[in-house]
């Protein structure tokens, strides 16, 4: 039997045929630094907002069709509804939740964490291809990024990948290193010894370009020289850097890499 629908209205299936390639293009573009750095910053958020509106429309349409089929044909067809629910959750509800969190000021003044260690959702709330290697600490564009602990700078360059402008600091006595990504400017040089709280650069959107409102520093904690030996930096973070405080010297104590 032909699919019954209101004349002039797009069916849920037609909308998904339009949305699916758009989603693939946005994901491919957003995860390719060369493309992400060249399109205007509002391009992907605008396309995502238009896609979200279409997905909501498609979801409502699928529900209407579901009820209509049950009345007219007397049986249930779940496929379209299930596809629409999945699209609604991953491409509308989760990003919307992240957006609300991003624009809501944190009560205690501490920086917001957009994405935690091992998360499968990115800063903007969309699914990731692999678990997150560090934490994304929210910050204003151009704000100072501070060294999380004493150490020696071993990398300070444009990585030309999703990390963008990167700084790596080795904290030798402890066999740990901290990695910072997405700077707009680097303020240290390779071989330089830095003190905890010293300015090492500025918050930016280099590499995997953050959407407006989601600017952040990607902070990663590695053990020794093995880039795959990573751990969650959060349990080691003791708070915002305060130069009036004395931090324990016998262990590595991370502070937030952005002022707060
Ligand atoms: Zn990150």
What confidence tens digit (pLDDT) does each residue in 170-192 have?
988 778 899 999 999 999 999 99
According to the model, what pLDDT value does residue 4 have?
45
10-19, 40-49, 89-98, 140-149, range with the lowest pLDDT = 10-19
For residue 15, pLDDT beyond 90: no
Each residue's pLDDT tens digit, 108-120: 667 788 999 999 9
Does domain 113-236 fall under CATH 1.10.10.10? My reply is no
Distance from Cα 60 to the centre of ligand 1, integer Å: 34
Domain boundaries, the chain: 12-103, 113-236
In DSSP notation, 199-260 reads EEEEE---SSPPPTT--EEEEEEEETT-TT-EE-SGGGB-SS--TTS---SSS--B--SB--
Look at residue 121 in the predicted model and tell me its pLDDT: 92
How far is the centre of ligand 1, averaged over its atoms, from the C-alpha of 132 (Å)? 6
The pLDDT confidence band at residue 9, using thresholds 50, 70 and 90, is: low
* Cα dihedral 28/29/31/34 (nearest 10): 130
Report how far ligand 1's centroid is from the alpha carbon of 15 (Å).
Answer: 32
Expressed in angstroms and rounded, the spacing between residue 22 Cα and the centre of ligand 1 is 24
Return all residues near 221 (Cβ < 8 A) that are at least 6 apart.
134, 176, 177, 178, 179, 230, 231, 232, 233, 236, 254
Q: How far does the centroid of ligand 1 lie from the alpha carbon of residue 213, in Å?
A: 15
| pLDDT of amino acid 101 | 86
Q: What phi and psi values does residue 109 have, to the nearest 5 degrees?
A: 80, 0
Dist. CA 194–CA 157, nearest whole Å = 16
Extended strands (E) in 84-164: 113-115, 135-138, 144-146, 151-158
Statement: residue 2 has pLDDT above 50: no
Mean per-residue pLDDT of the chain:
85
Task: Report CA(163)–ligand 1 centroid distance (Å).
Answer: 8
Contacts of 223 (CB under 8 A, 6+ apart): 175, 176, 229, 230, 231
Q: What is the pTM of this model?
A: 0.84
Two tokens, residue 81:
């509804």
pLDDT at 18: 75
| Secondary structure element (H or E) that encloses residue 36, with its range | helix 33-36
Cβ pair 234, 117 in contact under 8 A? yes
Distance between CA 78 and CA 93 in Å, rounded?
A: 20
Distance 10 CA to ligand 1 centre (A): 38
Q: In angstroms, what is the span from residue 134 Cα to ligand 1's centroid?
A: 6
Using CA atoms, how far apart are residues 201 and 184, in angstroms rounded to an integer?
7
CA–centroid distance, residue 115 to ligand 1 (Å): 7
Centre of ligand 1 from the C-alpha of residue 129, in Å: 13
């Amino acid at each position: 039997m032909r699919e019954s629908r209101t004349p002039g209205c797009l069916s849920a299936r037609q909308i998904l045929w339009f949305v699916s390639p758009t989603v693939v293009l946005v994901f491919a573009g957003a995860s390719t630094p060369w493309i992400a750095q060249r399109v205007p910053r509002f391009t992907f958020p605008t396309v995502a907002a238009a896609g979200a509106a279409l997905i909501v429309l498609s979801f409502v349409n699928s529900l209407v069709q579901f009820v209509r089929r049950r009345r007219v044909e007397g049986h249930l067809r779940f496929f379209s509804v299930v596809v629409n629910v999945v699209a609604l959750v991953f491409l509308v509800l989760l990003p919307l939740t992240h957006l609300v969190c991003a624009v809501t000021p944190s009560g205690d003044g501490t920086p917001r964490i957009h994405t935690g260690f091992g998360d499968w959702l990115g800063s903007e709330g969309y699914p990731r291809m692999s678990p997150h290697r560090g934490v994304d600490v929210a910050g204003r564009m151009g704000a100072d990024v501070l060294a999380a602990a004493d150490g020696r700078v071993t990398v300070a360059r444009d990585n030309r990948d999703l990390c963008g402008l990167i700084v790596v600091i080795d904290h030798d006595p402890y066999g740990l290193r901290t990695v910072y990504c997405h700077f707009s400017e680097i303020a240290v040089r390779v071989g330089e010894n830095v003190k905890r709280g010293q300015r090492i650069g500025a918050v930016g959107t280099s590499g995997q370009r953050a959407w407006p409102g989601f600017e952040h520093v990607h902070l990663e904690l590695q053990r020794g020289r093995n880039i795959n030996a990573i751990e969650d930096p959060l349990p080691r973070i003791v708070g915002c850097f305060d130069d009036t405080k004395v931090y324990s010297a016998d262990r590595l104590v991370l502070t937030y890499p952005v002022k707060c």
